[in-house]
């Protein structure tokens, strides 16, 4: 078993940790697979350490599920995915440059090309290249402008060292402020026709990731590359094709590492919101060093023994204060819930995202490596051997 999610490891000695329900990822994958056009491939986007879930762990799991390929940005993620999935294609989204050519060869990576200059810099290495050409249909980000695509395809065709395996785009996330998804894909269609007519159409054309999978089934094409949707980080309300996905990140927890009734001998309470004389204060062993934002909504709370306790600012590198005056049963060492269930109450991912002034993906990708990952399946099977 890959170690990026620890199995059979009790969080007993941790002050804070995050829990993952990896079965959610397998289930989300199957839901997507069952819903998309038959024959459409799935490139699982595992960038940012698989949206915080652990790229190696997720790659092994999805490889077993039969995923067709992976997409990543960083070499670190590519290394983790290649180790877990020795034979699956790995598409590098724009990012790495020709300095990484040895790794590209050794790890058998497919690179993205976003323009002529980009291609020429790779050609200068003399290496054989497997490429996906990336086109910018209205995201104003990486990718070649559609008008320059035919010339780039001609250049690729004239180079013996280059195999164009695919052509792809990532549609914009500007909502009403940018071109609509349909307007963007419409920019691609005549180019595909032209390439087809000239025998230059690559095997894989791909434009759809989480948002358009939900709203535009007609964009499935040869392949799709969802990220957030696989990890249950997308809201599918009002979707044309609602995917009932579950979040893989199931809980964020921290222990009470200090607890006291603050009497007058510690001085007057700080003149800050939430502090008061004679309050009972608990300190949690989690802080912005673990990825909790430094500024969170003033109404934010945690669950202590099933009851809400307000968070008191400021948030420190390793510590977070809560007010447990009204929760006399709170005890030193208690597990406190920032995300997840406690007793009959529950803090959901959308609720936490709102309190943290971000969205679900922002929560998942914002947590830091120092916040240990725990596979919940290992917690319910305490006698499971490592590697089972
Ligand atoms: C991030 C990204 C994806 C996945 O996007 P989601 O919205 O998370 O599904 C797909 N393709 C590219 C090029 C990306 O950068």
Q: Domain coordinates of the chain in residue numbers?
A: 22-231, 249-380
Q: Measured between alpha carbons, how far is residue 285 from residues 20, 53, 200, 371 in Å?
A: 19, 21, 58, 11
Nearest atom in ligand 1 to the alpha carbon of residue 168 is: 13
Give the residue whose CA is nearest to atom 5 of ligand 1: 227
CA–centroid distance, 38 to ligand 1, in Å, is 21
The reported pTM is 0.93
Q: What does the pLDDT read at residue 3?
A: 46
User: Which residues' Cβ are closer than 6 Å to ligand 1?
Assistant: 45, 47, 71, 93, 170, 209-211, 225-229
Q: What does the pLDDT read at residue 91?
A: 98
Q: Which residues of the chain have pLDDT under 70?
A: 1-11, 236-237, 380-388
Q: What does the pLDDT read at residue 257?
A: 97
Q: What does the pLDDT read at residue 156?
A: 97
CA–centroid distance, 227 to ligand 1, in Å, is 6
Task: Report the relative pairing of strands 204-208 and 69-72 from DSSP bridges.
Answer: unpaired
Q: What does the pLDDT read at residue 12?
A: 72
Q: What does the pLDDT read at residue 242?
A: 80
CA–centroid distance, 168 to ligand 1, in Å, is 11
| Domain 22-231, CATH among 3.20.20.10, 3.40.50.10480, 3.30.200.20, 3.40.50.1470 | 3.20.20.10
Q: What does the pLDDT read at residue 388?
A: 29
CA–centroid distance, 100 to ligand 1, in Å, is 22
Q: Measured between alpha carbons, how far is residue 68 from residues 63, 106, 253 in Å?
A: 8, 20, 35
**Structural class in CATH, domain 249-380:** mainly beta
Q: What is the pLDDT of residues 88-116, one digit of tens each?
A: 999 999 999 999 999 999 999 999 999 99
Q: What does the pLDDT read at residue 380?
A: 61
- Ligand 1: residue of 92, 139, 227, 229 to mutate (most ligand atoms within 8 A of CB) is 227
CA–centroid distance, 383 to ligand 1, in Å, is 38
Nearest atom in ligand 1 to the alpha carbon of residue 233 is: 8
Q: Which two tokens stand for residue 364?
A: 């998942």
């Amino acid at each position: 078993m890959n170690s990026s999610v620890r199995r059979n490891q009790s969080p007993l000695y941790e002050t804070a940790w995050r829990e993952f329900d990896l079965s959610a990822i397998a289930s989300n994958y199957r839901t997507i697979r069952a819903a998309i056009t038959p024959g459409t491939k799935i490139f699982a986007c595992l960038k940012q350490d698989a949206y915080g879930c652990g790229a190696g762990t997720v790659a092994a799991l999805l490889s077993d599920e039969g995923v067709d390929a992976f997409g990543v940005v960083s070499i670190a993620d590519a290394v983790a995915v290649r180790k877990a999935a020795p034979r699956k294609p790995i598409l590098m989204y724009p990012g790495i440059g020709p300095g990484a050519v040895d790794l590209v060869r050794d790890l058998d990576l497919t690179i993205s090309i976003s323009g002529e200059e980009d291609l020429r810099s790779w050609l200068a290495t003399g290496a054989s290249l497997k490429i996906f050409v990336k086109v910018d249909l209205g995201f104003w980000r990486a990718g070649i402008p559609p008008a320059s695509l035919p010339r780039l395809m001609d250049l690729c065709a004239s180079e013996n060292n280059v195999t164009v395996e695919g052509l792809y785009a990532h549609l914009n996330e500007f909502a009403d402020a940018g071109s609509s998804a349909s307007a963007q894909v419409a920019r691609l269609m005549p180019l595909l026709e032209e390439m087809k007519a000239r025998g230059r159409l690559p095997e894989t054309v791909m434009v759809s990731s989480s948002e358009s999978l939900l709203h535009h089934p007609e964009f499935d094409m040869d392949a799709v590359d969802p990220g957030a949707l696989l990890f249950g980080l997308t809201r599918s309300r009002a979707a044309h094709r609602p995917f009932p996905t579950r979040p893989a990140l199931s809980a964020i927890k921290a222990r009470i590492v200090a607890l006291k009734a603050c009497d007058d001998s510690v001085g007057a309470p700080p003149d800050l919101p939430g502090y008061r004389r004679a309050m009972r204060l608990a300190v949690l062993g989690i802080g912005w060093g673990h990825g909790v934002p430094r500024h969170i909504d003033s109404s934010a709370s945690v669950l202590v023994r099933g009851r809400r306790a307000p968070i008191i600012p400021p948030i420190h590198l390793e510590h977070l204060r809560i007010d447990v005056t009204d929760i006399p049963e709170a005890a030193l060492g208690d597990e406190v819930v920032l995300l997840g269930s406690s007793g009959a109450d529950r803090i959901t991912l959308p609720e936490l995202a709102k309190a943290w002034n971000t969205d679900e993906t922002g929560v998942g990708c914002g947590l830091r490596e120092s916040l240990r990952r725990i596979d919940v399946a290992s917690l319910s099977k305490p006698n499971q051997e490592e590697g089972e």
